[in-house]
Structure 1
Amino acid sequence: MLADQQLCNDSAQLHGLTLTSYVLDVVVVSLSLLIICGNLLVIISVIYFKQLHTPTNYLILSLAVTDLLVGALVLPFSTILSMSSCWYTGYLLCKMRGLFDILLCTSSILNLCCISIDRYYAVCHPLRYASRINVYVTLIMIILTWTISFLLSISITVREKDEQNHSWRCKIFMSTKESSPGPIFAFYIPTTLILAIYFKILMVAKQQAKRIKSTLKSEAALSKMEKKTNITLAIVLGVFLMCWSPYFLSMGLYSLRRFTIPVVVIEAFKWIGWSNSMLNPLVYAFFYRWFRHAFRMIISGRIFQGDYSSTSL
């Protein structure tokens, strides 16, 4: 045992001196800072400016908190543990990293699902939106999102068998029978729901555009409305699917044991999925001009020079 531990320590020291480890450290630190800073701007904006105290923005706030924790907790610990040769020395830390990973990534995806539901009522049922989606309903959605994510992460982490002892390495993904239901509830079901909702939104938006055309006889208004709707939905769906689909699909194939997929490839896909936490503020916040105005005021430090909480954005 002592010999194995000494060999492990020597390997870890040699591993830590490689150029790859330094490059990876720089990439992870940069990605973590971008995720933290971007989502922190969203959090401060929604909390500080009264104009942003709306049900939709509370859902965006919940998403920003989730993504910020991904950058602050999951990424740094994943890097440390995945590069460590002495996995057994960080067994508890590895389990905690897995717990936070499942909790926060699931919460992020479910928050996106809640935002799609909010947009569905706003576009498809605008007259009933205020009565159906209010602060209390939004709070219930947020609580359910975090509760489901917590229960799923606890269930998978507790049931997860220790299959990594022989490799002395903490993997950044789980692929056992105990964890197989996780992707179904954390990705496939929410993704199917999101796709169905946005498809419905797109259909309704086209119908509304046709009514505008028949009323205003304006091809320009129709073209502009359809173009804006298509671009928005393409960005929302494209970024989400681009980031998370490769990981969950490859992990599913890996779990079947019928396809040979290198572990390093699946881990690379996982990092792409985590990068969605950096892109979410761009898609769901920078897209709106009132958020951009709020960000400029925060970055310039104006909010520290007086009370601008009631400022019209």
Structure 2
Amino acid sequence: MDSSGGPPLCFPSLNSSCRRLPLPRFETALLYILLASVSLLTVTLNLLVIISISHFRQLHTPTNTLLLSLAVSDLVVGLLVMPIEGLRYMETCWLLGRLMCALTPYVSYCLLSASLGNMVLISIDRYLAICDPLRYSSKITLNRVKILISLCWICSIIYNGLILMDHLGWSKRFSSCHGECVVVISHISGTVDLFITFVGPCTVMVILYMRVFVVAVSQVRVIRLQTAATALTAAPTAKKERKAARTLGIVIAVFLMCFCPYYYPSLAGEDTSNSLSYFAVLSWIMLMNSCVNPLIYALFYPWFRKAIKLIFTLRILQPHSQEVKIL
């Protein structure tokens, strides 16, 4: 029991317990309301994306399948990662036990890597759609995309198991007391991870979208100059592809802005650890991306707004609602 008159213990029955640094009640209540709201909004919006793409047959395209995979990742972030990370920082104690201490960082890292992989696949998809439209449908099929998404998730699970092998095997290695969950990735491992899961994929995405932008601008000029009937027929399709590329370009730009700060410790030559004083800020900037993505869809995708109306009016429960024209 704590009899020193200092801050209360995380686990009063244990002498080896960490000290709890409680926040004022009003501030704690406000933070819990904010956490619950953000988490619920993230889950709801991404669930709407998943239902929309899964239900309406017209949305069963390779590009939307990639968005579906990204939405699944964001949904898990809102359902599990956000509440657990919020609990950690508001209670200033790790209350979920050793097993969850080992698994939570692993799940978070897997979601991070899978999201990056999905973004790269989306960039490649848009690049081929804009730069090689005649062969796009033969190169990018639904089955091939599903295989690539599966490989992306499998590689993420294996890779992060290797990166966090020490933590998974000995989760309390860096914990100084009971009620603490410290994850430390050495500077060397963090630097390797920086290049494999961030610098490399981001470089690919930026190069591909620069190429897409150049080709899209040239296509606009060609369509404006040509007056043949074939050109007029192709114009709506080309315009649609460019709009999709622009929207997904915004998604990737926001993604990079949210994820770049997370890699600051590696860039600064430090070990990456959740015990760093500023790590909570970096972590939550990254996590907020999972809530922002579906908001971007709502702003720029008419099909998503139409799907939401059909879902909330329960018209998706009607017979043959899967065949509704939504594009």
TM-score between both structures, scaled by the size of structure 2: 0.81
Question: In structure 2, how many angstroms separate the alpha carbons of the residues matched to 1:9 and 1:50?
Answer: 53
Query: Any residues of structure 2 matched to 1:251-262 within 5 Å, and which?
Result: 251-256=265-270
2:251 to 213, 224, 236: 236
What secondary structure is seen at the aligned counterpart in 2 of 1:312?
coil
Question: In structure 2, how many angstroms separate the alpha carbons of the residues matched to 1:266 and 1:13?
Answer: 19
What secondary structure is seen at the aligned counterpart in 1 of 2:321?
coil
Whether the 8 Å CA contact 2:101–2:181 is kept in 1: the answer is yes
Partner of 2:10: 8
Q: Does 1:143 align with 2:150?
A: yes
Question: In structure 1, how many angstroms separate the alpha carbons of the residues matched to 2:72 and 2:244?
Answer: 27
Question: In structure 1, how many angstroms separate the alpha carbons of the residues matched to 2:88 and 2:39?
Answer: 16
Partner of 2:308: 295
Larger proportion of helix: 1
Whether the 8 Å CA contact 1:39–1:68 is kept in 2: the answer is yes
2:261 to 224, 246, 269: 246
Question: In structure 1, how many angstroms separate the alpha carbons of the residues matched to 2:278 and 2:8?
Answer: 30
Partner of 1:213: 224
Whether the 8 Å CA contact 1:70–1:277 is kept in 2: the answer is yes
1:159 to 152, 161, 166: 166
1:185 to 176, 182, 196: 196
Whether the 8 Å CA contact 1:46–1:53 is kept in 2: the answer is yes
Partner of 2:283: 270
Size of the aligned set, in residue pairs, is 302
Letter in 1 for 2:251: V
Partner of 2:123: 116
1:89 offset after TM fit, Å?
6.5
**Worse overlay, 65-74 or 265-274:** 265-274
Question: In structure 2, how many angstroms separate the alpha carbons of the residues matched to 1:304 and 1:137?
Answer: 30
Residues 254 and 80 (structure 1), Cα distance of their counterparts in 2 relative to 1, 3 Å cut:
farther
**Worse overlay, 5-14 or 111-120:** 5-14
Residues 26 and 74 (structure 1), Cα distance of their counterparts in 2 relative to 1, 3 Å cut:
same
Residue segments in structure 2 that go unaligned for 5+ positions in a row: 13-17, 229-234
Residues 141 and 283 (structure 1), Cα distance of their counterparts in 2 relative to 1, 3 Å cut:
farther
> How many percent identity over aligned positions?
36
| Aligned residues: CA RMSD | 3.2
Residues 158 and 264 (structure 1), Cα distance of their counterparts in 2 relative to 1, 3 Å cut:
same
Question: In structure 2, how many angstroms separate the alpha carbons of the residues matched to 1:56 and 1:32?
Answer: 26
Whether the 8 Å CA contact 2:57–2:323 is kept in 1: the answer is yes
Letter in 1 for 2:161: I
Residues 182 and 18 (structure 1), Cα distance of their counterparts in 2 relative to 1, 3 Å cut:
farther
TM-score between both structures, scaled by the size of structure 1: 0.84
What secondary structure is seen at the aligned counterpart in 1 of 2:323?
coil
